[in-house]
């Protein structure tokens, strides 16, 4: 009993002192009429940042994924109907842009499908946000099978999620589960 109580006190103190914040991706949600929406949540976590800015984007990948070694390759090889491109690992990403495994291109649909918290309108802990209004599950010009996921970015240094030249130590990407239509 004493150890349980003692452990409970340690956990309680740790939650108050050691908490940071992260923008956490959630699953892509299918809607009526061939539309989808992406969501993310701003949560307290052990790893993260003291900042309450960042955001999330709905991103897609065509049936034949392109292997990449950087975002510039994805930008140069984006399909019709695609906006900004990311070079991401298939596994859920962790600190910085990459997790483990081969990297593949993912793109925002055009127009961009993102929502970002700002200094003027920061993200609120526990709130679930939509990346955008619903978008077509099959972007114009995409191949028959399309995979979707939510990609979130947490600012480690203010404004770095919006900076294409930011380093891995200045922002944190997380990629949600893959949904196929």
Give residue-wise pLDDT tens across range 58-84: 999 887 888 998 888 998 998 877 888
CA distances from 105 to 13, 57, 152, 170 (A): 42, 14, 16, 21
The pTM of the full predicted model, rounded to 2 decimals, is 0.80
- Identify the H or E element spanning 16: helix 2-18
User: Which of 79-88, 108-117, 124-133, 168-177 tops mean pLDDT?
Assistant: 124-133
Average pLDDT value for residue range 34-57? 87
Nearest CA to 150 among 164, 135, 162? 135
Q: Over 90: is that where the pLDDT of 36 sits?
A: yes
Residue 100 pLDDT greater than 70, yes or no: no
Digit-coded pLDDT (tens) for 103-115 = 889 998 877 788 8
Determine the Cα–Cα distance for residues 61 and 27; give it in Å rounded to an integer: 15
């Amino acid at each position: 009993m004493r150890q349980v109580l003692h452990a409970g006190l340690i956990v309680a103190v740790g939650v108050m002192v050691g908490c940071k914040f992260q923008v956490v991706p959630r699953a892509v949600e299918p809607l009526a009429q061939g539309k989808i929406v992406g969501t993310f949540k701003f949560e307290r976590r052990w790893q993260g940042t003291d900042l309450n800015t960042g955001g999330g984007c709905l991103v897609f990948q065509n049936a034949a994924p392109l292997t990449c070694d950087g975002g510039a390759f994805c930008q140069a090889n984006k399909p019709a109907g695609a906006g900004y491109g990311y070079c991401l690992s298939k596994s859920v990403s962790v600190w910085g842009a990459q997790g483990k495994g081969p990297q593949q291109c993912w793109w925002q649909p055009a127009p961009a499908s993102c929502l970002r918290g700002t200094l003027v309108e920061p993200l609120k802990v526990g709130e679930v946000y939509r990346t955008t209004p619903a978008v077509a599950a099959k972007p114009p010009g995409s191949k028959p099978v399309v995979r979707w996921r939510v990609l979130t970015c947490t600012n480690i240094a203010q404004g770095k999620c919006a900076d294409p030249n930011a380093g891995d130590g200045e922002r944190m990407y997380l990629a949600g589960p893959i949904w196929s239509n």
